[in-house]
Structure 1
Amino acid sequence: MADQHRSKICLAAPSYVIYEHVDLAEFGRFAIDFGLEEAGSTKDNSTVFYSGYGADPFVYVARQAPPGQPKRFVGAGFVAASDKDIDKALREDGADTVDTTEFPGKGRCVRLRDPNGYVLEVVSGQQRQTVPQHGLSNLLGQPAMNGALDKRRQGEFTRIHHGPAKIHKLGHYGYNTDNWDATLSWYQSKFNFTPTDILHAPGKPELEVAQFMRVDNKKIYVDHHCFLLARVEKGTTIHHSSFEVEDIDTQFMGHQWLEDKGHQLVWGIGRHVHGSQVFDYWYDSSRFIIEHYADGDVVNEDTVTTRAEAGNMAVWGPPVPEIWHAKKQQRAVASGMAAVAG
């Protein structure tokens, strides 16, 4: 098993997602309200990079869609576990070397394409950002929370900054596909993706409808999932990308800021079952779904993969939105993201 793991391209963590937008300027206004910061652009301004305050030099790549072409999700980038792993990626069939001259952080980048045409880029040698000592919170001074009996905040007041929820990093992304077997095989045979949670259709344990996958970095704790794959009856489409914020107060303030700026809420705020994170889903300017999350689970190789029936999307929160309507979930629970979210 160890030899098999070494033969794979090992990834350390997700780094960024790539989208094409018809109106880059309009997306840029949304991005700032969402809590991203512009980190640079290409000389022709056809690509804009956005960063968080984590180590990644950028977490979102926004490209200008070609004239006459619609918006689209392109793919994602992951940090290689070592230089050997990016060399492994370069030996894969169809691998391309990406010119990073105009990328923040530069470094090496190898581009692969999965069975559905989505890109997976493997990066290494980037100049990483300096990470602050503490996460950036809208809660000023981040005082302790007073419980009913345990009054830890004594003589201090809770004061909160109004503004966007500052993004730390890309946490995960997920997509739907009818090409389930080939897609799952590609990600899990070539890379160190492993499922933390597997969901199956109600009453049909043999029919998997979703896998919440993490990168297997042995004893190192990683996010509960960085990639979510869901089975649908027809087509392959992006579902959402999700970005971490420091705490729940920051998440609520980010929610209020986006609402005040007139952006459209999809679903939230609530707490998920699988991954435990507090979620908040929004439409961006191109009507892609993008999520803030806080307080997610972290796991390692000692975490046992669990199997459960699909459909239990949240512990608490507002009603499921029309696009994930509860009745539709029951009628078509095998349709992947119609019954799961992360």
Structure 2
Amino acid sequence: MTQHLDTHRDLHSDQGALRGEHPGRAKNPIIKVRDLAWLEFEKPDLARAETFAHAFGFTTELRTDREVHLRGADSGTVCVIIRRGPHSRFVGPAFAAHDVADVERLAAATGTLTHASPDSIGGVTVELVDPAGMPVRVVAGMRDLPEQPTQPVHTFNFGREVLRTNATQRPSREPARIQRLGHVVLQSTTYRRSLDWYLEHFGLIVSDFLYYPGQRERGPTMSFIRCDQGATPTDHHTMAMVLGPSDRYVHSAYQVSDLDAIAAGGEYLRERGFQRSWGIGRHIQGSQIFDYWRDPDGFLVEHFSDGDLFDNTLEPGWAPMTASGLAQWGPPVTKDFLGIAPGKESLRELRSMLSAVRDDNEFDLTRLRGLLKVTRS
């Protein structure tokens, strides 16, 4: 039986919107995308990237001297495309439209041209640029990859509900096989303008807004955004966007079968010397069981399972942003996850803070104080 909860009245959020606050959706979006298709990166060492990807749970769909395509077990498109480049960087996301007509409609509305996708993917693509200057693809008509085997969900004994007798529970210590790409989180110095751009162009809708404590009157500083498929429930967030001192990738998340896959897969990664950033725990916004890891190039990636699914009737929740409010249970949030551990990333972010407060963007001195308060909360 499907259980329906009014999650905006309990742990999901503290409260709904006040009069005049952001509605969390556009009145007349150009199109409504159906999902996040894949993410694109550049890295100088494809072999090293592929080694981690296999330990993390991806399967290689395509390998050439110039690029690697990584997929999950679910049918559909690849999850990640990595191209050889002089430096490690996140290039941008690709969203899946419902059909080619949507891609053509978006191209006409934005004054851009469509073009054929590479033969390895198929279909039609339009490439836009978001307010932060990041390329964003929208694609349709791609070649559909067949479903692959994945880890079976275990049979559990819950309290008095006994489903397993005379049988043991022995999850294999192996990579947590990725099922699909779940979401990407981006930071923007022009958060509100970027948020509105994605809602207006792609028909995304906000599940939750967060705001800096004491600064709610200035508007939200983070949003968890889902696809609008009407009465069909979709992931609590396909994309999340947060205000910050630089325009950058924060993390991406990939679904696996269950908690055992996350835990045993984490042991597999740990034994091979990879760095856990934070986990295992359960989030508040989205409810996912999570585990975060750093790949060899420093990118933050997440295993998750058991996330919330919302249809388009739920209005956004509102809650203050705090470091302790990132999880219902689990270890305390780490400095590495927050990006403030000593190292290259925190040094870059510190330099960005000093320059951002002098530039003409949404991250001013008051917002900086709010962010620093969040990291200490």
How does the TM-score come out when normalised to structure 2? Answer: 0.80
Task: Note if contact 2:274-2:293 (Cα within 8 Å) is conserved in structure 1.
Answer: yes
Match runs of 1:1-342 below 5 Å:
7-42=29-64, 45-65=65-85, 67=86, 70-93=87-110, 95-104=112-121, 106-131=122-147, 136-137=150-151, 142-206=153-217, 207-232=219-244, 234-311=245-322, 312-324=325-337, 334-335=370-371
Structure 1 residue ranges, 4+ long, deviating more than 3 angstroms after superposition: 4-7, 92-99, 323-328, 331-339
Q: Secondary structure, in 3 states, of the residue corresponding to 2:155?
A: coil
Quote the Cα distance in structure 2 between the aligned partners of 1:18 and 1:60: 6
TM-align CA RMSD: 2.5
Q: Secondary structure, in 3 states, of the residue corresponding to 1:304?
A: coil
Instruction: Among all aligned residue pairs of Structure 1 and Structure 2, give the percentage whose two residues are the same amino acid.
Output: 29
Q: Secondary structure, in 3 states, of the residue corresponding to 1:31?
A: helix
Quote the Cα distance in structure 2 between the aligned partners of 1:309 and 1:253: 34
Quote the Cα distance in structure 1 between the aligned partners of 2:135 and 2:63: 20
Amino acid aligned to 2:105: K
Q: Secondary structure, in 3 states, of the residue corresponding to 1:50?
A: strand
Q: Which has the higher strand share?
A: 1
Quote the Cα distance in structure 2 between the aligned partners of 1:7 and 1:213: 14
Amino acid aligned to 1:46: R
Quote the Cα distance in structure 1 between the aligned partners of 2:304 and 2:184: 12
Task: Please state how far the C-alpha of 1:84 moved relative to its aligned partner.
Answer: 1.9
Task: Note if contact 2:30-2:109 (Cα within 8 Å) is conserved in structure 1.
Answer: no
Task: Note if contact 1:332-1:338 (Cα within 8 Å) is conserved in structure 2.
Answer: no
Amino acid aligned to 1:313: L
Q: Deviations over 1:259-299 (max 9, x none)?
A: 11111111111110000001111111110101110000000
Quote the Cα distance in structure 2 between the aligned partners of 1:28 and 1:91: 38
Task: Note if contact 2:68-2:83 (Cα within 8 Å) is conserved in structure 1.
Answer: yes
Q: 5+ unaligned residues in a row in structure 2: which ranges?
A: 1-25, 342-366
Q: Secondary structure, in 3 states, of the residue corresponding to 1:208?
A: coil
Q: Which has the higher helix share?
A: 2
Amino acid aligned to 2:107: L
Distance 1:204 1:38, change over 3 A: same
Quote the Cα distance in structure 1 between the aligned partners of 2:129 and 2:372: 22
Task: Note if contact 2:29-2:199 (Cα within 8 Å) is conserved in structure 1.
Answer: no
Task: Note if contact 1:202-1:333 (Cα within 8 Å) is conserved in structure 2.
Answer: no
Distance 1:336 1:254, change over 3 A: farther
Quote the Cα distance in structure 1 between the aligned partners of 2:252 and 2:150: 20
Task: Note if contact 1:209-1:334 (Cα within 8 Å) is conserved in structure 2.
Answer: no
Name the structure 1 match of 2:12: none
Task: Note if contact 1:214-1:223 (Cα within 8 Å) is conserved in structure 2.
Answer: yes
Distance 1:40 1:265, change over 3 A: same
Task: Note if contact 1:231-1:337 (Cα within 8 Å) is conserved in structure 2.
Answer: no
Amino acid aligned to 1:35: G
Task: Note if contact 1:164-1:254 (Cα within 8 Å) is conserved in structure 2.
Answer: yes
Q: Deviations over 1:35-65 (max 9, x none)?
A: 01111135xx212111101122310010111
Task: Please state how far the C-alpha of 1:149 moved relative to its aligned partner.
Answer: 2.1
Q: Deviations over 1:85-144 (max 9, x none)?
A: 11122224363545423424x122221111112222111111212336xx722xxx5442
Distance 1:326 1:98, change over 3 A: closer
Quote the Cα distance in structure 2 between the aligned partners of 1:325 and 1:109: 35
Quote the Cα distance in structure 2 between the aligned partners of 1:337 and 1:61: 36
Task: Please state how far the C-alpha of 1:327 moved relative to its aligned partner.
Answer: 10
Quote the Cα distance in structure 2 between the aligned partners of 1:122 and 1:326: 30
Quote the Cα distance in structure 2 between the aligned partners of 1:248 and 1:333: 37
Amino acid aligned to 1:129: L
Task: Note if contact 1:210-1:336 (Cα within 8 Å) is conserved in structure 2.
Answer: no
Task: Note if contact 1:177-1:235 (Cα within 8 Å) is conserved in structure 2.
Answer: yes
Quote the Cα distance in structure 2 between the aligned partners of 1:172 and 1:319: 23
Quote the Cα distance in structure 2 between the aligned partners of 1:159 and 1:22: 39
